[in-house]
Amino acid sequence: MSHRSFRLYDTMTRQVKELVPATPGHLKFYSCGPTVYSYAHIGNFRTFLTADLIVRTAEALGWNVDYVSNITDVGHLTSDDQDGGEDRMEKGLKSKEGERFANVWDLAEFYADCFKEDWDRLNLRRPLVWPKATQHMREQIAAAEKLIETGHAYETPTGVYYRVGSFAGYGKLSGNTDREELITGARDVVRDDNKEHPSDFALWKKDEKHLMQWYSPWGWGFPGWHLECSVMAMAYLGETLDLHAGGEDLIFPHHECEIAQSEALTGKPFARHWIHTRFLQVDGQKMSKSLGNFFTVRDLVDGKGADPLAVRYALISQNYGVPHNFTMDLLRDATQKIERYRQCDEKARKAIAQPGEPNAAADVFVESLRDLYDEVLDAMCDNLNTSVALAKALEGTRVILRESSLDLPMAEAALQFLGDINDLLGIVSLDRNVPSASDTTSSVPEAWIEQKIQERAEAKAAKDFARADHVRDELAALGIELRDTPEGTTWKHRATIL
């Protein structure tokens, strides 16, 4: 494990502080995912990229990361509704784009699949699990029942509400402690005359006409949005998370409500560290369809022919903690930089196959790349300072490209540098996408498994047993069991728990 400390701004204590997992070197990390009622836009992806960079930095430090990111497919209420809140999924179905779906379930599945596609295209690491709110209904109902039992929630004719006044810590994350402010600032909080206090928020909505409904102790209905994250985070990561992330718009009320629910349920701190990504503007203005500056990943990649890695580069080029202005100039500039990495990669690969004459400057070359990588990692550990990290990494491409030819040690150092930069920043080439164990909708491609088996056979032939074992473990983690027979290695799916 690296000696470096990983420092991040913590929204709760309002300072940059060291990220310290409860178990050293093992990060339990939850990041709020999208509501799949339409395509995620590039502002959403800016937030998911912050989470991705945290995972990559932690891994570069040698940590294990349990990374969970949810998919909201029910219960996210619209903010502008006065008479009880409408589910965004239903609203999506009623919209122009929603017309092509037979029902809200199809719509949710379609946009969840699109979201995962965009996620892969922008080279984000897949989480350990991508749980959906609809897959965790039992836990949400149980949590609401327990909150009623302990006096933190109550039933009304329209639903079950969290009694905000019962939780002294309400407001500690956002600083919204003024009760009057809570009422006027309470976006997504259902207005209902039966509530004890206007800032109380819904855990369950009674609704027999809702397109997605479940039977509960309070009759047919659906859960409030905030509850899903509390139960899914705790189901996969335990009662106290090391780090919880999301966009800045989630600080209040979403994360404030998650804290109130979770801490009332367990009596323990919900998360040790909170991180939020500032908003993204396009051409200096809030993204909006009417202004023509609203972009999804597919608008840029399929519509404008942008290189997905350049989109990624442009989105991470500004530090997460300040608002980011995305422009087409920025994207063009990022495209040129991605091209430089491609040139370096090509040059290094050619030189590995056909090295140049031994070069007297090789030692200096090797050392400068090593030093530059250290500086890149230092910058990432300094509150994810991506603007410095990208600048330092780019210096490495200058070091590689200015040499007229690379000898073998130089070629190896260049490939190592590019691989390390790619692991940390994801900007050199697409990672080979490792299918997620929990991804039940798409099973692991057979060709990929065969390729892994081949890799393991080669490692064994080269007596590199550590690597061979690593491949076996990697497959085992995906529920694939290997069996060595005299005729070769065969494999089968093991039943997975998740």
Q: Which is nearer to Zn ion, 33 or 396 (CB)?
A: 33
Distance of CA 464 to the CA centre of its chain: 34
Angle, in degrees to the nearest 10, between helices 256-266 and 225-237: 50
Q: Which is nearer to Zn ion, 250 or 362 (CB)?
A: 250
Closest CA to 162 of 137, 207, 206, 195: 195
Which CA distances in Å does 385 have to 50, 98, 214, 448? Answer: 11, 40, 45, 35
Distance of CA 392 to the CA centre of its chain: 25
**Which of 30-38, 324-332, 366-374, 471-479 is the region at the interface with Zn ion (rule: CB under 5 A)?**
30-38
Q: Which is nearer to Zn ion, 32 or 60 (CB)?
A: 32
Q: Lay out the sheet containing 153-155: strands in order across.
A: 153-155, 159-162, 201-206, 219-223, 214-216
If one asks whether residue 133 binds Zn ion (CB under 5 A), the answer comes out as: no
Give least dist CB 254 to Zn ion, A: 6
Q: Which is nearer to Zn ion, 236 or 373 (CB)?
A: 236
Contact 194, 157 (CB under 8 A): yes
Amino acid residing at 186: A
Which CA distances in Å does 47 have to 39, 283, 318, 327? Answer: 15, 18, 12, 17
Give least dist CB 44 to Zn ion, A: 13
Q: Which is nearer to Zn ion, 119 or 373 (CB)?
A: 119
**Which of 27-35, 43-51, 329-337, 361-369 is the region at the interface with Zn ion (rule: CB under 5 A)?**
27-35
Give least dist CB 415 to Zn ion, A: 39
Contact 362, 407 (CB under 8 A): yes
**Which of 26-34, 122-130, 353-361, 482-490 is the region at the interface with Zn ion (rule: CB under 5 A)?**
26-34
Instruction: Print the binding letters for residues 195-234 with Zn ion: x by CB under 5 A, - otherwise.
Output: ----------------------------------x-----
Give least dist CB 229 to Zn ion, A: 3
If one asks whether residue 32 binds Zn ion (CB under 5 A), the answer comes out as: yes
Q: Which residues contact 177 (CB under 8 A, 6 or more apart)?
A: 170, 171
If one asks whether residue 49 binds Zn ion (CB under 5 A), the answer comes out as: no
Q: Which is nearer to Zn ion, 189 or 229 (CB)?
A: 229
DSSP H or E run through 166: none
**Which of 32-40, 150-158, 168-176, 422-430 is the region at the interface with Zn ion (rule: CB under 5 A)?**
32-40
Q: Which residues of 205-236 are buried (b: 16+ CB within 10 A; e: fewer)?
A: bbbeebbbbbebebeebbbbbbbbbbbbbbeb
Find the binding residues for Zn ion in span 134-173 (CB under 5 A). Answer: none
Task: State how far the Cα of 133 lies from the Cα of 252, in Å rounded to an integer.
Answer: 20
Query: Is residue 387 classed exposed, middle or buried when 0-12, 13-18 and 19+ CB atoms within 10 A define those classes?
Result: middle
Q: Which is nearer to Zn ion, 46 or 452 (CB)?
A: 46
DSSP state of 300: I
Give least dist CB 410 to Zn ion, A: 47
Can you spell out the DSSP letters for 434-457? PPPTT-TTSPPPHHHHHHHHHHHH
Residues in the interface with Zn ion (CB under 5 A) total: 2
Give least dist CB 33 to Zn ion, A: 7
Give least dist CB 464 to Zn ion, A: 42
- Within 13 Å of residue 385, how many CA atoms lie on the same side as its CB? 15
**Which of 24-32, 278-286, 411-419, 446-454 is the region at the interface with Zn ion (rule: CB under 5 A)?**
24-32
Give least dist CB 39 to Zn ion, A: 19
Give least dist CB 24 to Zn ion, A: 27
Q: Which is nearer to Zn ion, 229 or 376 (CB)?
A: 229
Q: Which is nearer to Zn ion, 182 or 245 (CB)?
A: 245
Contact residues toward Zn ion (CB under 5 A) are 32, 229
